[in-house]
Amino acid sequence: MREQELKCLSTAEQQLGVIRRDQVLAWLTERQLEQRVKAKAWEPLLTGVYRISGSPRSWHQDLKALALWAGRDYAFSHETAAALHGFQRFKSEKLVLSVARHLRAPVIPNRGGVVLHRVEPFGPKDRCTVQGLRVSSPTRTLLELGRGTTDDDLRATVDEALRRKLTTVEKLAVALRRQPKTRPRGFSFLRALVHEYEGGDGPCESELESLVLELILQSGLPRPDRQKSINVAGRFRRLDFFFEHFGVVLEADGYAWHSSTVAFEKDRERRNSLIARGFVVLQWTWKALHERPEALVQELVAVLKTRAGWSPRRG
């Protein structure tokens, strides 16, 4: 019997310390299982799923237990999928599961209830595997987030997904076309974002850029072009944010980007060429954005006011 129990423990170890009833009964009898539960060596976590006492308790262990409980026709979705995909604005706390059959949402001891969504059967492109778990695909996850996420967080997450090449504008556009026009507000905002990208605006290329754009829009300022390339002195320069009517360039400066001598020199060369062409160049850092956002906005407003009617210099 010792050998059979070791096989159970080995299976549980590969599953982050949890095991399903049918897996146990492949090696032990029901009576032997009940003995281990009664002795508190194994702890019931969900219906038909047990946690080996002493195994490290974690969010990932609870996810594995839920996966064993669901068994089939499921995928972790919404905020849970966003966290598993590594999207910066979503943390590993919530337990959200989408299932293609009727199940009652379970409760995990010391964790609380699980949010369960009843969905149509998953297509092959609707889900993927992340850390051994079935998860909504990045494109589908963005659509799921559109139903209950703030516009700022949704914009930043779409930008991140595009930046990391987890999806494309084309995939998002196709997925949105498949959604009924009567779906919630989030789809309307996603459609507007895709329209922006298709019109030439690129996604923000860092979390810092996302925060800069949020501050600009929240302050009621004109919407800048993003990631626009312009020809300056015979070379194409791609600008983080460009207020074309005013001739104002706004750069989001993260330390990592300028942490080498070569990057530092290229940045100065770029800035000088823009100024020589008649552009005003403002640089917002992560520290300034967090410590004095109001002052940054006031500076930008003052510059825009003085630049109305600007026209570029030749050369």
Residue 1: per-residue pLDDT? 56
Angle at Cα 188 formed by Cα 184 and Cα 190, nearest 5°?
Answer: 110
The string of pLDDT tens digits covering residues 45-64 is 999 999 999 999 999 999 99
Would you state the pLDDT for residue 40?
Answer: 93
Q: Are 18 and 49 in contact, with CB atoms under 8 Å apart?
A: yes
Query: CA dist 168 to 176, 203, 229, 270, 276, Å?
Result: 12, 11, 20, 29, 36
Question: What share of the chain has pLDDT > 90, as a percent?
Answer: 51
Give the residue carrying structure tokens 């050369």. 315
The Cα 50–Cα 122 span in angstroms is: 27
Mean pLDDT over the full length of the chain: 87
Phi-psi region of 220 (alpha: psi -120 to 50; beta: other; left: phi over 0): left
Q: Are 95 and 166 in contact (CB under 8 A)?
A: no
Give pLDDT tens digits for 112-163: 789 999 999 988 889 999 999 999 999 999 999 987 888 889 999 999 999 9
| CA neighbor of 161 nearest in space, from 103, 218, 205 | 205
How does pLDDT run across 75-115, given as a tens digit for each residue?
999 999 999 999 999 988 899 999 999 999 998 888 878 99
Q: Nearest-CA neighbor of 23 among 77, 75, 73, 64?
A: 64
CA distance 145 to 79: 7
| pLDDT given at position 182 | 59
Residue 210 has pLDDT above 80, yes or no: yes
CB–CB of 183/175 below 8 Å? no
Residue-range domain boundaries for the chain = 2-56, 64-198, 207-306
pLDDT at 19 over 90: yes
- Confidence at residue 148, expressed as pLDDT on a 0 to 100 scale: 80
Please state the pTM of the whole predicted model.
0.75
Contacts of 3 (CB under 8 A, 6+ apart): none
- Tallying the residues shown for the chain, one arrives at 315
pLDDT of residue 179: 79
DSSP structure class, residue 257 = G
How much is the pLDDT for 96? 96
Q: Residue 68: which residues within 8 A CB-CB, separation 6 or more? A: 15, 18, 19, 20, 46, 48, 49
- Asked if the 207-306 domain carries CATH number 3.40.50.300, the reply is no
User: Which option is the CATH number for 2-56: 3.30.70, 1.10.940, 3.20.20, 1.10.10?
Assistant: 1.10.10
Q: How far is CA 69 from the centre of its chain?
A: 26
Q: What is the per-residue pLDDT across 238-295, written as a single tens digit (0 to 9) for each?
A: 888 999 889 999 998 765 444 455 556 677 777 888 888 888 999 998 888 889 999 9
d(CA 301, CA 221): 8
Contact 281, 268 (CB under 8 A): no
Confidence of residue 207 (pLDDT cuts 50, 70, 90): confident
Q: Assess whether pLDDT exceeds 70 at residue 30.
A: yes
Helices (H), the chain: 2-14, 21-24, 30-38, 59-70, 78-84, 138-145, 151-163, 169-177, 185-198, 207-218, 261-276, 286-291, 293-306
